[in-house]
């Protein structure tokens, strides 16, 4: 029997910069999230951030950033997108439909 190396899951990470979390803090949180993803056996291809005072209730990020993320997913064949905040069930459903890949938030990654 021929053994093959397991496929490494390709992921991207997404976070927000706002009045509660400046760019430095966002970078720290995304670095921590990257470490958690690497520990889980994933390969982090890129980190996306957006300056947005409040998360979009439907998709967490704005439509332009969502399009940018979606384009990157298609080109790089990303398996999973991890968001650095807790997503509502509506956001999770909308993001999975729009991005056509697995979507996790920080809590789901840790569990």
pLDDT tens string for the chain (111 positions)?
566 656 889 999 999 999 888 999 999 999 999 999 999 899 999 999 999 999 999 999 999 999 999 999 999 999 999 999 999 999 999 999 999 999 999 888 776
pTM for this predicted structure = 0.90
CA dist., res. 28 & res. 33, Å (int): 9
Query: Exposure of 83 by Cβ count < 10 A (0-12 exposed, 13-18 middle, 19+ buried)?
Result: buried
Beta-bridged to residue 18, according to DSSP, are 21
Q: What is the CATH number of domain 10-110?
A: 3.40.50.11060
Q: Domain segments of the chain: what residues?
A: 10-110
Instruction: Enter the tokens of residue 82.
Output: 């991890």
């Amino acid at each position: 029997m021929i053994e093959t190396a397991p496929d490494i899951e390709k992921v991207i990470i997404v976070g927000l910069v706002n009045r509660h979390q400046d760019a430095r803090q966002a970078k720290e949180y995304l670095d921590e999230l990257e470490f958690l993803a690497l520990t889980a056996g994933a390969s982090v291809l890129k980190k996306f951030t957006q300056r947005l005072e409040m998360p979009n209730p439907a998709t967490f990020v704005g439509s332009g950033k969502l399009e940018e993320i979606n384009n990157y997913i298609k080109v790089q064949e990303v398996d999973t997108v991890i968001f650095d905040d807790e997503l509502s069930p509506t956001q999770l459903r909308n993001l999975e439909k729009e991005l056509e890949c697995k979507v996790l938030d920080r809590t789901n990654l840790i569990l």
